[in-house]
Amino acid sequence: MTAILSTALPAFLASLVEFVEALTIVLAVGAARGWRSAWIGTLSGVALLALVVAAFGPLLRYVPLGALQLAVGVLLLFFGLRWLRKAILRYAGAIPLHDEARIFARREADLRAGVRGGATDWPAVATAFNAVVLEGLEVVFIVIAVGATAGALVPAALGAALAGGIVTAAGLALRRPLARVPENTLKFSVGLMLSAFGTYWTGEGLGAVWPGGDLALPGLMSGYGIAAAFALTLARRAVRERARTVSV
């Protein structure tokens, strides 16, 4: 139960964010250049991702657990802290919030302004393909990162699949971007989780011992939460001071 919660939940939440971002671009392609191109690009991207997983997935069992923990832990740290940092800066008003509706409108306008490339609209196909592959790679990485080291790949993959199913169903039903998903809150929460996982596995890989064993994970999440709250307070103050300086 612990393994399911500690792997399926972060995989689900992180994948939800990635799927929403991919969906926005695929929908923009479909609306601006036709659904045929959007589908070809999407399905080609999914096929490539399946090939990558099929080719490299089985190799994971040959990697020693210690090396896997360290490698995945370090990558997870970079990935999680990057999300956490960006979410804090967005909360502080230092950088704008991610706006799916605006991104959709801009992408759609760009695509409509472009020239169609013949019977099959290859630029449109490539746009959808790139979005699916890039966001999909992030999903694959997250599933492997939170699942493989904890020996719970299946719950992690199911969490991601559930997120994919929900976003795809919502996208097909609405045919517009899911602008109401609280993306920054999701990124902040997932950033906390992934940073905690990354720190935990990196420490294990470096031979450190976490007080309390697995119970250190919620402690690390709380620790990063406190650090994030402190950073947010200081960042808001810095933004206010800068705004005051600019307006004078």
Partner 1 sequence: MSALRKAAGELFGLFVEDRAFALAIAIWLATCGALANVHVGSPEARALALFAGLAIILVASVVRDARNIGAPARTRRE
**The tokens of 201 are what?**
């596995």
Tell the burial category of 73 from Cβ atoms under 10 Å away from its Cβ (0-12, 13-18, 19+).
Answer: buried
Contact 217, 197 (CB under 8 A): yes
242 binds partner 1 (CB under 8 A): yes
Tell the burial category of 100 from Cβ atoms under 10 Å away from its Cβ (0-12, 13-18, 19+).
Answer: buried
Contact 198, 73 (CB under 8 A): yes
116 binds partner 1 (CB under 8 A): no
* Binding string, residues 30-69; x marks residues near partner 1 by CB under 8 A: ----------------------------------------
Tokens 């997935």 correspond to: 57
243 binds partner 1 (CB under 8 A): yes
Q: Which stretch binds partner 1 (CB under 8 A): 9-17, 31-39, 88-96, 149-157?
A: 88-96
Q: Which of 158, 152, 143, 156 is nearest to 72 (CA)?
A: 143
* Binding string, residues 124-153; x marks residues near partner 1 by CB under 8 A: ----------x--xx--x------------
Smallest gap, in angstroms, from Cβ of residue 125 to partner 1? 14
Q: Which of 41, 38, 2, 4 is nearest to 162 (CA)?
A: 4
* Site of interaction with partner 1 (CB under 8 A): 74-75, 77-79, 81-82, 84-86, 88-89, 92-97, 134, 137-138, 141, 195, 199, 202-203, 206-211, 216, 220, 223-224, 227-228, 230-232, 234-236, 238-239, 242-243, 246
